[in-house]
Chain A
């Protein structure tokens, strides 16, 4: 019993072949513990995004299945899965022209009746929650009315994190959440995400391509290369290993290090 509950997300032999014949994932099997901060590490094209998107059904794997609390993700279970799993995006996934307030309500749409969503008569608890969460991620009240596009990259991703918390998710999947941010803001953003998740007991599955950030923030690192797992374990097991050297070497030109 505890064993099953411990495996919050289970990837079981996930394979994905796209229509053009690209094998994006091949036999990916690993488990993520409840409340863990699991980093998917790998260069571009290693299959991180595809794997993440299998968790909330944005892509469906060609082989294997993803289970949340032992329940496989199917077309029937997808609506309830999407209510419990929220997502943070590389390009923030915000509507730049809409206000921060509207974007925040966007995070609770699954729980708001359609007529209320369309008429703008959002339930009060959600409006209050939007304000509270924005305060938690360190934004100011006057940000509410501003269009999301007017915020800085770091602020936008804070809105992205706050939005992901609107429905008290069990799981947050973050697809390269800091890829379009500078190194300092990246670190702050990941800190915020980690703290917010820990405070609420949320399991985070986060893809990154920076080894140093993965080592710093992860409880568990799953390293992918060309759709296969090359490492699965705590950060300590990765540091100093050949895998870390491989990633560091391969990523050296992309990093903005002196």
Chain B
């Protein structure tokens, strides 16, 4: 009797308590994380960043404070405007120039500049006006930027196409549930990590040495990095696909490739489209960057103009890049809505 009571007492003491918001362990981890962030934040000068940004905002708002940031940005910003739209060319340098057939929307402009010329009779320097005739295309540079942007888009597109082709076999071998052998799995995973570890800019530097200036180096640099990215994500989706339909097909004698095609691919396709669109978007942005090292596209133009201090041109290029990224984003969002 007494033993029954005593054994039932501890059981009764087990009460129902709803889990608290924060457990002691969680609090400890959060504190440790905070300390880590503070320590690393000091190393990357986050304090100075906040102070300088604050000063800049204060200065811009009219505060009486000297801000290095505001001065710097104040000098660069306006120098981009007005955006360069037109393009002019000396007609004496245009081969087979036909005055009666000017290109569309263009007109001629004459600029007279006084130049010092040595008069052979008097052996004195004389000031004489020199007439230089220019062909002016009011939207010429805009057209040039558009062509370069299109070229960049082509580089990004082919970088993506090659990345898909490269990553498909890599994903097959680096998915634990499809890979035919452990060795293939490790090799594929290693390759994928390696490709992802090398930034486009770095591989572009080497590829420009190998393939020369131009889009080939750009396309390959983008493809290699994106293949590492896609290979990893494709493989992880394959591993996470619902196993029940796969088992159903294995049960009736389908091989690995057939299981991949019939049970896995339909499940993962929407996600694949999302990844691939992201890669296309990213490749376009990276294509502008790797152009800086001579791998073709708008980046090459940007670098050239920047080095020549043509900031109005730089402004036009930046605006063009922004516009293109925005358009691609809209296009991708539309495609995603269709497939997801």
Asked whether, in the complex, the Cβ of B262 is within 8 Å of the Cβ of A117, the reply is yes
Taken together as a complex, chains A and B put the C-alpha atoms of A112 and B253 apart, in Å, by 11
Asked whether, in the complex, the Cβ of B247 is within 8 Å of the Cβ of A86, the reply is no
With an 8 Å Cβ cutoff, the count of chain A residues facing the other chain is: 28
Asked whether, in the complex, the Cβ of A93 is within 8 Å of the Cβ of B261, the reply is no
CB distance from A123 to the nearest CB of B (A): 14
In the complex formed, the residue of A with least CB distance to B259 is A109
Report 22 cross-chain contacts, Cβ distance below 8 Å, ordered by A residue: A58-B247, A58-B251, A79-B253, A82-B253, A87-B251, A89-B244, A91-B244, A93-B244, A94-B245, A95-B245, A95-B266, A97-B269, A98-B262, A106-B249, A109-B249, A110-B252, A110-B254, A112-B258, A117-B258, A118-B257, A118-B258, A167-B252
Asked whether, in the complex, the Cβ of B247 is within 8 Å of the Cβ of A93, the reply is yes
In the complex formed, the residue of B with least CB distance to A173 is B251
Task: Report B225-262 CB contacts with A as 1/0, cut-off 8 Å.
Answer: 00000000000000000001101111111110110011
At the interface, yes or no: A102 with Cβ under 8 Å from chain B? yes
At the interface, yes or no: A177 with Cβ under 8 Å from chain B? no
Besides the known contacts A93-B244, A118-B261, 13 further A-B residue pairs in the complex with CB atoms under 8 A apart: A58-B247, A58-B250, A85-B252, A93-B247, A95-B262, A96-B267, A97-B269, A106-B263, A109-B249, A109-B253, A110-B253, A110-B254, A164-B252
At the interface, yes or no: A83 with Cβ under 8 Å from chain B? yes
Taken together as a complex, chains A and B put the C-alpha atoms of A56 and B257 apart, in Å, by 20
Taken together as a complex, chains A and B put the C-alpha atoms of A215 and B251 apart, in Å, by 28
| B contact set with A: CB distance below 8 Å | 244-245, 247-255, 257-258, 261-263, 266-267, 269-270
Residues 74-106 of A contacting B (Cβ, < 8 Å) = 79, 82-83, 85-87, 89, 91, 93-98, 102, 105-106
Taken together as a complex, chains A and B put the C-alpha atoms of A97 and B241 apart, in Å, by 12
Asked whether, in the complex, the Cβ of B255 is within 8 Å of the Cβ of A114, the reply is yes
Taken together as a complex, chains A and B put the C-alpha atoms of A86 and B251 apart, in Å, by 7
Taken together as a complex, chains A and B put the C-alpha atoms of A118 and B252 apart, in Å, by 17
Asked whether, in the complex, the Cβ of B257 is within 8 Å of the Cβ of A95, the reply is no
Taken together as a complex, chains A and B put the C-alpha atoms of A69 and B255 apart, in Å, by 25
In the complex formed, the residue of B with least CB distance to A169 is B252
Asked whether, in the complex, the Cβ of B261 is within 8 Å of the Cβ of A117, the reply is yes
Residues of A within 8 A of B258 (CB): 109, 112, 114, 117-118
Residues of A within 8 A of B247 (CB): 58, 93
Which among A83, A85, A105 is the interface contact of B262 at CB below 8 angstroms? A105
In the complex formed, the residue of B with least CB distance to A88 is B248
Asked whether, in the complex, the Cβ of B253 is within 8 Å of the Cβ of A83, the reply is yes
Residues of B within 8 A of A83 (CB): 252-253
Residues of B within 8 A of A56 (CB): 251-252
Taken together as a complex, chains A and B put the C-alpha atoms of A105 and B262 apart, in Å, by 9
Taken together as a complex, chains A and B put the C-alpha atoms of A98 and B251 apart, in Å, by 19
Residues of B within 8 A of A118 (CB): 257-258, 261
At the interface, yes or no: A107 with Cβ under 8 Å from chain B? yes
In the complex formed, the residue of B with least CB distance to A167 is B252
